[in-house]
Structure 1
Amino acid sequence: MSADGEGRNHWFDDEAGPVVRPYAMTRGRTTSAGQHRLDLIAVVVTEPDVDDPEADVTLSPEHVDIVGLCRQAPQSVAELAAELDLPVGVVRVLVGDLVDSELVHVNRPVPPAELPDEGILRDVINGLRAL
């Protein structure tokens, strides 16, 4: 790394602090080992029997943060990315790691094709009102 004219290196930003590349958080991976497909609205839930994640030396600080946030309340992948100020791709890889480690599970959204037809729902509501 070369230093600029004032003695600072180019990998440090005075306002932002040290720069950490996203691939460093995921160890260069763009997908998790289990190839989990996580939509932005997929909800991440901490497993009920999870002990203190900070005791697990294999977890990164970002993994621990995700478990902590999901322990407070289930979070979508998009919410986790926003809360942790991380790219969505990084969060997807980290959540995939946590799923593989059985620390969290993911509730996937219902595909639109499997949702009930709006007309059927209106008929049910009208039928209930008629009772």
Structure 2
Amino acid sequence: MIAAGDGPWLDDAAGRLIRPYTVSNGRTRPSTALDLLSQVMATGTTPLGTLGPEHAEALGRCAVPVSVAEVAAHLKLPAVVTKVLLADLVDCGALTTKPPAFHHNPTDRSLLEAVLDGLRRQL
């Protein structure tokens, strides 16, 4: 695996030298509905066909259940690009997805209070 700043595609001063839309082949909509808090996990199935290095890195991050937002942060890619990559992996059977636990009530007061408490502890 190439470390940050190594190789021809990264530059410490300029950052990523490839535009995000080239990573997703210009696609802006994933084929699978994914929320930022959706959980994704590798199935153990080897994807068929040719996938880019970002696909491989995303798949490597999904050995345990992880949110789409976390994968995007680790890949340092916009969430929409990450959703397209993850949807590709779901389509080929390499990933499974699960909606967030609070999918039916995203404004649950106890959940929002827990998030607020966690943010306060971080500050």
TM above 0.5, one fold? yes
Q: State which of 92, 98, 104 in structure 2 corresponds to 1:107.
A: 98
User: 2-side partners of 1:92 and 1:41: how far apart?
Assistant: 11
Cα deviation, residue 57, structure 1: 5.2
Post-superposition Cα deviations, 1:2-35, rounded to whole Å, max 9, x if no partner, equal xxxxxxxxxx977125621111000010123xx3
| Paired amino acid for 2:82 | V
Between 81-90 and 105-114, report the one with greater CA deviation.
Answer: 105-114
Quote the residue 2:45 is aligned against: 50
Q: TM-score, normalised by structure 2?
A: 0.68
Quote the residue 1:89 is aligned against: 80
After TM superposition, the runs of 4+ consecutive aligned structure 1 residues lying more than 4 A away are none
Q: How many residues of Structure 1 are paired with residues of Structure 2 in the alignment?
A: 98
Alignment of 1:1-131 (within 5 A): 15-16=13-14, 19-32=17-30, 35-47=31-43, 49-51=44-46, 58-71=50-63, 73-110=64-101, 111-113=103-105
Taking only the aligned residue pairs, the percentage that are identical comes to 41
Structure 2: segments with no counterpart, 5+ residues: 1-9, 111-123
User: 2-side partners of 1:61 and 1:87: how far apart?
Assistant: 16
> Which structure: larger Rg?
1
